[in-house]
Amino acid sequence: DIQMTQSPSSLSASLGDRVTITCQASQDISYYVNWYQQKPGKAPKLLICDASNLERGVPSRFSGSGSGTDFTFTISGLQPEDIATYYCQQYDNIPLTFGGGTKVEIK
């Protein structure tokens, strides 16, 4: 199975800060990565697919990049509504696997 190592597991940042989350795959997975946002008690929401393609309706402060084994998710200007846990997910191989998640809080 492909392991997705996500870091950090949690972070605290100020409103307006740039927030960066990384995911490292255990093998080359090209650009086959999605990023999700999950708020407490809610289902995950797909934000970015194919490593860098923003889903329709998702604010442009969210972005993704990377290929191969190293991927980055960025929030450019943290907003109060961005408080959530974020997950990466690979789809190069079955089983689909997720990173461990990054909990984003306001400092």
CA distances from 91 to 36, 62, 64, 77 (A): 13, 20, 16, 28
**Contacts with another protein: how many residues (CB under 8 A)?**
23
- 55 contacts another protein (rule: CB under 8 A): yes
Asked if residue 83 binds another protein (CB under 8 A), the reply is no
49 forms part of the interface with another protein (CB under 8 A): yes
Give the shortest CB-20-to-another protein separation in angstroms.
Answer: 19
The residue from 44, 66, 71, 104 that contacts another protein (CB under 8 A) is 44
Is 98 near another protein (CB under 8 A)?
Answer: yes
Q: Which residue has the tokens 């997910």?
A: 89
Q: How would DSSP label each residue in 30-95? A: TT-EEEEEE-TTS--EEEEETTTEEPTT--TTEEEEEETTEEEEEEES--GGG-EEEEEEE-SSSS
Residue 75 forms beta bridges with which residues?
Answer: 19, 62
- 91 lies in the binding site for another protein (CB under 8 A): yes
Q: Which residue ranges make up the site for another protein (CB under 8 A)?
A: 1, 32, 34, 36, 38, 43-46, 49-50, 55, 87, 89, 91, 94-101
